[in-house]
Amino acid sequence: MADSLASGLPGAAPNPAGLVEVLLNVSLTGTMLLRPLYAAGSEELIDFDWVRLNNSAQRMLRLPEHPAQSFLTLFPSARQVGVFSFYQAAFLSGQLAHRQNLYQHDGLDGYYVLAAQRHEDLLVVNFSDANEQSRTTIEKELRASQARETAARAAAERQRGELERVFEQAPVAIAVYRGPQYIIELANPTVCRLWGRTAEQIVGKGLFEALPEVAGMGYEELLDGVMATGVPYVAHAMEAVHEREGRRDTVYWDFVYVPMYEADGSIYGAMVVATEVTEQVLGRRQLEEKERQTNFLNEELQAANEEILANNAELGSAQQQLRQLNQQLEARVQERTYQLEEQQSLLRQILGQLPAAVATLSGPEHRFAFANAGYQQLVAGRATLGQTVAEALPEVVEQGIINLLDHVYASREPFIGREIALILVTEEGVPTQHYFDFTYQPLVDGQNQVQGILVFAIDVTEQVRTRRQTETLQAAMLAVAQRQQAERENVYQLFEQAPAAICLMRERGHRIDYLNPAYQALFPGQLLQGKTLAQVQPDARELLTLFDGVYATGTTQTQREVPLTVAPSDQPAEARYFDFTYQAYREQGRIVGVSLFGTDVTDRVLARQAREAQQAELQRIFEQAPVAIAIMRGPQLIIELANAAVGAIWGRPPAQTLGRPYFEALPDTAGQGFEEILHGVLQTGEAFSIVEAPVQLARAHTGLPTQGYVNFIFQPLYGEDRQITGLIAMGTEVTDQVLARQQVHTLNQELRTANEELNDANKRLTRTNTDLDTFVYSASHDLKSPITNIEGLLLALRQQLPPAAMQAELVARLLSMMDGAVSRFQETLGHLTDVSRLQQVLLGQPAEAVELPALVEAVRLDMLPEFTAAGATLTVDVAGCPTLYFSAKNLRSMLYNLLSNAVKYRDPARPAHVELRCHPSPGQVVLEVQDNGMGLSELQQSELFRLFRRLHTHVPGSGVGLYMVKKMVDNADGTLAVQSQPGAGSTFTITLPLPTPPQA
């Protein structure tokens, strides 16, 4: 059985989508299908998306069938006037809701009657112009409400403007602070000038951040008190320091701190109103000084003079402020006048572009004050401004139009006419019959007095003539049907052989009177003859409504490409597509039934679907191709197609180039040889390839280099006549590869040069190090004998000196100093020998597999007496690093030095505790020695690894140990770092890379 409700076929399964399609097409009123939009993560309904607009809605709203933007985006004023709330409530309640309103926003101006109800997840809205209903009262109320709203808005705007002017031009300093940090929200020019800052420097910052020089002068406490108590604070001549014009000025203020309140009564900040009284304070102080130097009369005279000068200065300042105020007022008046002129121009532009005829008539004589292009077209351009209607259009006088205008003007009642016949004279002077739908609407002023009439007319002549022609045609068809009544059986015979599906249903109940075999084949096994549609399909109420409409109105309905599932008894079901037409069936001028005609269009639909699918697939392949592709047509190389990859090379979106000549769309490629290449392909028909061709492209704005390199092939395109019609360009950009190769070549050249210089430097350094090692070894060896001799001579001297001389204080002190000098000399020689040995150790110790736990245990046993004597404890955790590849001797030396230092530099105030840890890290191993000893300052840490550098003298040492450890770690491409804090201890961290174990 067929499964389409909208097919209009008895016995077919319901198809709501098809029925909606029919209803939307035939509806004479606007119908919208809206889908709700919700806020992210909640169920709050915030907008509607357009699903569908029928033809009437598209015409009334001047929108496409499927608008891309949301409802509130296209009609933002719907929220303020309550239309969105009406839709929202109708959807949430699920009940049928009605509304009437005057909507004069977002490009619309008219009265609308709305009906809305939810259907599943959609909101169905039907609306129409309420011209058929009386709307005088509604219109007056709405217009009065709008007038009040406009007046209130204007008053609020004036008040706001007045407040802004007062704030900006106030001769006193005004600022507003918000929150406990006293963020500066507002600051007028006076306070900015007195503070020595611009508004950009202080607004949005805390008061004491913007004016750090006044911090600590008592203002914080005053503001805190106002915020806490809500009691204003008034100060006189309070001192402050401000940085103004590069200098610090001590100033004095008279000010008041006033609390600022939120709507709920809470205090959110404070406002300050202040005047600088520095001159008055300084003058008063000068006056007080002079009081001690002169008599009372001179003091009075001086005060009078100062007051006169101050008054003159204030008068001059007031005059200057008055002039500035006048200038600002004049500028604002000019700006407001310009805005008003722009609004009037926009209104005239909108009225001029309306598809209807619009005019305004002023006074009881009905003189033309305005007429848009549509009105002038109707009256052949005779609506001259200032003329009366009777003067401009004399032919309408005898037709009663002037009397009708007089009645509207006098009664204040609008007139609405439908299909009014009116004769107008054309430009050639020929009287022509017209039919109009028009409205005469009285225009009133602010005192509710009629000033004129608004004319809004739509020429419906073509509709009237079409309807009358249709009625005439139907009468003719009826006559033909009467003449063919006797031949009905013959016609039925033709129907029997027709490939189209035909069915005739009679009477109001749609009883099936006739169906041909083609129609019966759609419903195998069903007896349809003589049954009503309700009996065949009792659940198909929408289908019954459709047939009722055709039967009642005689309006023909069509459905295109209706899908049906046809299931013959001996064959599998298959999907077919039909075009259906439903027409009124008349006898003797009276509708007696409905006829149905269906044509199988399956082949056409399947062919189109296959073609569309193929085109879509080709388009997807083209758009997603990883290579750049462009198609250019004609001798001017008009860019017909361009995918995203070629747009990336050009540095322009493909949409900017389509339909334009190549060298016009990409003028930067001209003059680089492409003209000859492309036109050569068009002339010769031979493909042309370029490899790593340099090209300059204006695409710096995309982040890509303007100098690019491309590989492209240009091939000719042929038409059906084998003539070249254009060419196709395919290729890729290889800029990165070319630049990388060039960079690698340059780097290789630089690397070879650097290697040569490095080899030379290494050779020189090797010779220098060898010479230095030889010198150090020789110097330490050669100096040992003299210092040993000096030590022997001192011993002999002690033996030869008499006891009395040995008892002398000076002699004993000199001998002790000489012994110390000899010891230090010997220690220095030992250090030089250690350094020489360290160099040999670093160069001659190969890496080997070291079992770290065994090595650490050996070091611990060697140092056990030292730890025991110091009362120190050692904790070891090296299970995470069982084996290391390193020089065993160097690793032992490193651990020994770090553990020894941890014991040496312990804090006597607490028991010493040392931890040795090891753990792996990606690509490396980490050794840590942590103690709770004396710790190091930042300065000491910066000196820690220098040769012969000792930071503590209360324990023995050479200053070589940590230097040796650092050298060993560096030689293994590792790092040695220390984290320390005086009194808390130190942590030494050794990070070593994980080398590849030596191969057997």
Where is the domain boundary, 713, 733, 753?
733
Determine, yes or no, domain membership for 785: no
| pLDDT category of residue 47 using cuts at 50, 70 and 90 | very high
pLDDT in tens, 459-468: 888 888 878 8
pLDDT at 978 over 80: yes
What is the structure's pLDDT at 132? 45
Best CA proximity match to 102, nearest among 571, 441, 392: 441
For 1000, half-sphere exposure in the C-beta direction (CA atoms, 13 angstrom radius) is 0
- Residue pointed to by tokens 């005609």: 597
pLDDT at 508 over 60: yes
Determine, yes or no, domain membership for 565: yes
| pLDDT category of residue 427 using cuts at 50, 70 and 90 | confident
pLDDT at 843 over 60: no
**What does the DSSP 8-state code read for residue 836?**
H
> Average of pLDDT values for 919-943?
81
Alpha carbon distance 387, 893 (integer Å): 116
What is the structure's pLDDT at 75? 92
What is the structure's pLDDT at 784? 67
Same domain? For 207 and 341 the reply is: yes
pLDDT in tens, 224-278: 998 899 899 988 888 888 888 778 888 888 888 889 888 778 898 998 888 888 8
Question: H or E segment at 284?
Answer: helix 278-291
Q: Report the range of poorest mean pLDDT among 29-38, 419-428, 773-782, 807-816.
A: 773-782
Burial of residue 175 (number of CB atoms within 10 Å: 0-12, 13-18, 19+): buried
Determine, yes or no, domain membership for 468: no
pLDDT at 435 over 70: yes
Q: How many angstroms from the chain centroid is the CA of residue 396? A: 59
pLDDT at 131 over 70: no
The percentage of residues in the chain with a pLDDT greater than 70, rounded to a whole number, is 77
> Average of pLDDT values for 459-480?
76
Q: How many angstroms from the chain centroid is the CA of residue 280? A: 55
Same domain? For 103 and 211 the reply is: no
Residue 916 belongs to domain with CATH number: 3.30.565.10
Alpha carbon distance 513, 10 (integer Å): 12
Residue 393 belongs to domain with CATH number: 3.30.450.20
Alpha carbon distance 571, 536 (integer Å): 24
Parallel/antiparallel/unpaired status of strands 873-877 and 913-921: parallel
Burial of residue 494 (number of CB atoms within 10 Å: 0-12, 13-18, 19+): exposed
Question: H or E segment at 620?
Answer: helix 602-624
Same domain? For 307 and 260 the reply is: yes
Rama region for 204: left / alpha / beta (φ>0; ψ in -120 to 50; rest): left
Report residue 566 as tokens.
């046809």
> Average of pLDDT values for 341-355?
54
Determine, yes or no, domain membership for 771: no
pLDDT at 313 over 60: yes
Alpha carbon distance 562, 920 (integer Å): 72
**Which residues, including other chains, have CB under 8 Å from residue 818's CB and lie 6 or more apart?**
794
Where is the domain boundary, 682, 713, 733?
733
Same domain? For 341 and 366 the reply is: no
What is the structure's pLDDT at 174? 87
What is the structure's pLDDT at 138? 46
pLDDT in tens, 20-38: 677 677 777 889 999 999 9
| pLDDT category of residue 917 using cuts at 50, 70 and 90 | very high
- Please report the beta strands in 29-178, taking only residues with DSSP state E, as ranges in sequence order: 30-38, 45-53, 97-103, 110-119, 122-129, 173-178
Same domain? For 429 and 548 the reply is: no
pLDDT at 159 over 70: no
Same domain? For 713 and 587 the reply is: no
Where is the domain boundary, 129, 162, 187?
129
Phi–psi pair at 589, nearest 5 degrees:
80, 0
pLDDT in tens, 642-687: 888 888 888 888 888 889 998 888 888 888 888 889 999 888 888 8
Amino acid identity of 117?
A: Q
Best CA proximity match to 961, nearest among 263, 969, 768, 556: 969
Alpha carbon distance 388, 406 (integer Å): 12
Burial of residue 209 (number of CB atoms within 10 Å: 0-12, 13-18, 19+): middle
Highest mean pLDDT, choosing among 760-769, 888-897, 959-968: 888-897
Same domain? For 378 and 297 the reply is: no
pLDDT at 578 over 60: yes
Could you tell me how many helices (H) and strands (E) the chain has, helices first? 31, 32
Same domain? For 343 and 380 the reply is: no
Same domain? For 713 and 851 the reply is: no
> Average of pLDDT values for 420-425?
88
What is the structure's pLDDT at 50? 93
| pLDDT category of residue 85 using cuts at 50, 70 and 90 | very high
Highest mean pLDDT, choosing among 396-405, 754-763, 814-823, 841-850: 396-405
Determine, yes or no, domain membership for 232: yes
85 lies in which domain range? 21-129
Alpha carbon distance 657, 653 (integer Å): 7
Beta-bridge mates of residue 743: none
> Average of pLDDT values for 868-891?
85
What is the structure's pLDDT at 12? 46
| pLDDT category of residue 3 using cuts at 50, 70 and 90 | very low
For 785, half-sphere exposure in the C-beta direction (CA atoms, 13 angstrom radius) is 4
Work out the mean pLDDT of the chain and round it to a whole number. 79
| pLDDT category of residue 5 using cuts at 50, 70 and 90 | very low
What is the structure's pLDDT at 156? 53
> Average of pLDDT values for 339-345?
54
Phi–psi pair at 271, nearest 5 degrees:
-115, 140
pLDDT in tens, 613-648: 877 776 776 666 677 888 999 888 999 888 888 888
Same domain? For 509 and 627 the reply is: no
Best CA proximity match to 48, nearest among 40, 62, 37: 37
How many domains, in total, are found in the chain?
6
| pLDDT category of residue 158 using cuts at 50, 70 and 90 | low
Determine, yes or no, domain membership for 345: yes
Determine, yes or no, domain membership for 822: no
Determine, yes or no, domain membership for 815: no
> Average of pLDDT values for 832-852?
66
Same domain? For 574 and 655 the reply is: no
Same domain? For 409 and 260 the reply is: no
Full DSSP string of 526-553: ---TT-BHHHH-TT-HHHHHHHHHHHHH
